[in-house]
Structure formats: structure tokens, C-alpha cells
């Protein structure tokens, strides 16, 4: 086997993909390789499981990240990797699609998990479709087998002392026909909800925008952050779009998720199902959220949440 390759825009996502590829490389008897943009990162990736690092040359100031596409594709033609995993960020998915097209191979987009068919030596890759109502399993018979993996699908790889690996420098990216005239960063209206250890999420069960203050107070007491379901952000505009969770929003993996007035449709549960503990509050005992919850309270959130806040405050004083 020529190898398992991983590519991501940043360190955190690369470490997650290294963890995803580690067991796969072991099963296939293949090397695990990662792309890096600096020798410092290259050494770090080796320490976290990479057998080889493909070192990308620095881009010119006006070159977009997509300029690496021909470099990556040429390297893949030469090395012929068996599997190529790419972080499913917006830019990562664009790069993956361009590389797959150049290599004339298939691509499983937003792959949520995979397992190896040991007889065929092919990956069986799962992805949600029909808005999260079903799981599609696909196999790619061309090389490399490519998939984009949503961030936080896997835990980051752990560091292993004393690991050795090789670093291979790749040629510079060619000049692009696209010229960047100006960059205007998007103003972030909220914290990065994917980094929160405790998430308090509000849904349509909250009657008025000002009532979100209850969730904010609970989050403050718990030391967490406030998130929401898609309608709260996209339809009502009560909270920024950066904090809505679900299949088309952010995917979180906190130690504790508290759902307040969340019905729990599959589109939302997809974004929270990897939470270590799911705690739901809903007055409808048949709400789907209770099927995903570890703990739940059936009751009026306007009565339950204030009581929880007082109980937590009292516990913290002791």
C-alpha cells in the first residue's frame, strides 16, 4: 500500500485526521502521511503519528490556499496513495473536489465514519443524506479513495515520544490565474462554539428573544456558552449564525450539552450527538430530543431553568 494521506488547513484538524488514519494505516500495512506548511508542524505531526510529512512550500502573499491543488495532485500521481482524507471545512471541501477531479477519482463528502472491507481492501464510508434522515454507505473503487471528514468527528491524535519520520519537500505552488484584490475578514459575532466544554442550546420552545437571557444566565453559572437550533439563527435572527448547531451548522463535542426547548429533529441531533452528556428540557415528553438524551426533564422551561440556576448557584457557594 502506498499510504494514507491527510490534509487540513490547521494543526487541530490535521491531528484529528491523523487519529482517523492511524488505525486504518495499521490495518492496511501502509504509511501515514500528512501535509504541513512548516518544519515545526512537520515535526509535530510526526510526533503525533505521521510516518512521513509532505512539506508544502510557503505561498506568496497574494496566493490563495487553493494554489496547492496542482502540487497535491501531482504528488498523488507520483506516490499513488491508497486513501486521502481531507478536513471538511469550506475551503477543504473545495480543495478536495478539485484534487479528485484532477485525479479522476471519487470523493465521499462529509464522511461521518468509515470501516475497512478487509476482503476488498476498500473503505465503506458513511455520510448523511436526505437532510440527515438516512445514512448512505459508499465505496470508491478508484485510487486514491478520497473523503472529506467534518472537524471534531475524531479526537486529536496523542503525542508519542521518540517517534521518527521523514520529511519530503514539495515544489512551490504555481502562480494562479486568480488574483486576490482585497481581503475583508468576516466579523465574528460570537465565540467559537466548537471549543466550548459546556453548551447551553435554545430552540423554538423559547417564546421571545429576551427569554434567551435565561439560557445565558444558566451558561454563565455553568461556565459554558450559548448555542441555538437553526430556526433561532436563520429564521428569527435571535442569535448569530455562528452558534447554530446541526447538520448544516456547527458540530460540537462538549462535555455537557443542555438543550432548552429543543425538539430534537435529526438535523439538530447530528450536530450534538458526540457530546459526552446530553441533558434535555422540554415540556413535550414525546419530543425526539429525549431519545438522544442521557438525562431529561419534562417540564416548562420557564419554571425548570430558573430552578436549575438557583440550585447550581447554591451548590457553587458550598
Task: List every span in the chain annotated with CATH 3.40.50.620.
Answer: 4-169
Q: 236-242: long-range contacts at Cβ-Cβ below 8 A with a sequence spacing of 24 or more?
A: 236/209, 238/209, 238/212, 239/190, 239/202, 239/212, 240/189, 240/190, 242/188, 242/189, 242/190, 242/192, 242/193
pLDDT given for residue 129 in this prediction: 78
Domain formed by 193-317, architecture = 3-Layer(aba) Sandwich (3.40)
Instruction: Give percent above pLDDT 90 in the chain.
Output: 75
Q: What is the mean pLDDT of residues 181-188?
A: 74
Angle at 89 between CA 136 and CA 263, to 5 degrees: 60
pLDDT band at 316 (very low <50, low <70, confident <90, very high): confident
**pLDDT > 70 fraction of the chain, expressed in percent and rounded:** 97
Rounded average pLDDT over 262-269:
91
Q: What is the mean pLDDT of residues 56-64?
A: 89
* pLDDT at residue 44 tops 90: yes
Which regions of the chain carry the CATH code 3.40.50.1220?
A: 193-317
From the centroid of its chain, how far is CA 184?
24
CATH number of 4-169: 3.40.50.620
Amino acid at each position: 500500500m502506498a499510504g494514507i494521506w491527510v490534509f487540513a488547513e490547521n494543526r487541530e484538524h490535521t491531528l484529528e485526521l491523523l487519529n482517523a488514519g492511524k488505525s486504518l494505516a495499521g490495518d492496511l500495512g501502509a504509511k501515514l502521511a500528512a501535509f504541513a506548511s512548516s518544519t515545526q508542524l512537520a515535526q509535530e505531526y510526526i510526533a503525533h503519528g505521521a510516518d512521513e510529512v509532505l512539506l508544502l512550500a510557503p505561498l506568496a502573499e497574494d496566493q490563495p490556499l487553493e494554489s496547492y491543488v496542482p502540487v497535491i495532485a501531482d504528488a498523488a500521481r507520483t506516490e499513488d496513495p491508497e486513501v486521502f482524507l481531507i478536513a471538511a471545512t469550506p475551503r477543504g471541501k473545495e480543495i478536495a473536489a478539485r484534487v479528485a477531479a484532477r485525479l479522476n477519482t471519487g470523493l465521499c463528502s462529509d464522511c461521518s465514519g468509515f470501516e475497512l472491507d478487509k476482503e476488498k481492501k476498500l473503505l465503506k464510508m458513511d455520510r448523511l443524506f436526505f437532510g440527515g434522515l438516512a445514512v448512505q454507505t459508499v465505496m470508491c473503487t478508484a485510487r486514491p479513495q478520497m473523503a472529506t471528514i467534518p472537524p471534531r468527528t475524531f479526537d486529536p491524535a496523542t503525542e508519542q515520544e521518540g517517534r521518527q519520520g521523514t520529511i519530503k519537500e514539495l515544489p512551490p505552488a504555481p502562480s494562479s490565474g486568480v488574483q486576490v484584490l482585497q481581503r475583508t475578514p468576516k466579523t465574528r459575532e460570537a465565540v467559537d462554539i466548537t471549543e466550548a466544554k459546556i453548551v447551553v442550546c435554545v430552540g423554538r420552545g423559547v417564546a421571545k428573544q429576551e427569554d434567551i437571557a435565561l439560557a445565558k444566565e444558566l451558561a454563565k453559572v455553568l461556565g459554558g456558552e450559548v448555542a441555538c437550533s437553526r430556526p433561532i439563527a436563520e429564521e428569527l435572527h435571535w442569535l448569530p449564525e455562528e452558534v447554530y448547531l446541526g447538520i448544516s451548522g456547527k458540530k460540537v463535542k462538549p462535555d455537557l450539552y443542555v438543550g432548552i426547548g429543543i425538539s430534537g429533529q435529526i438535523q439538530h441531533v447530528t450536530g450534538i450527538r458526540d457530546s459526552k452528556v446530553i441533558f434535555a428540557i422540554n415540556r413535550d415528553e414525546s419530543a425526539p430530543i429525549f431519545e438522544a438524551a442521557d438525562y431529561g426533564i419534562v417540564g416548562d422551561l420557564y419554571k425548570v431553568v430558573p430552578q436549575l440556576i438557583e440550585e447550581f448557584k447554591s451548590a457553587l457557594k458550598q
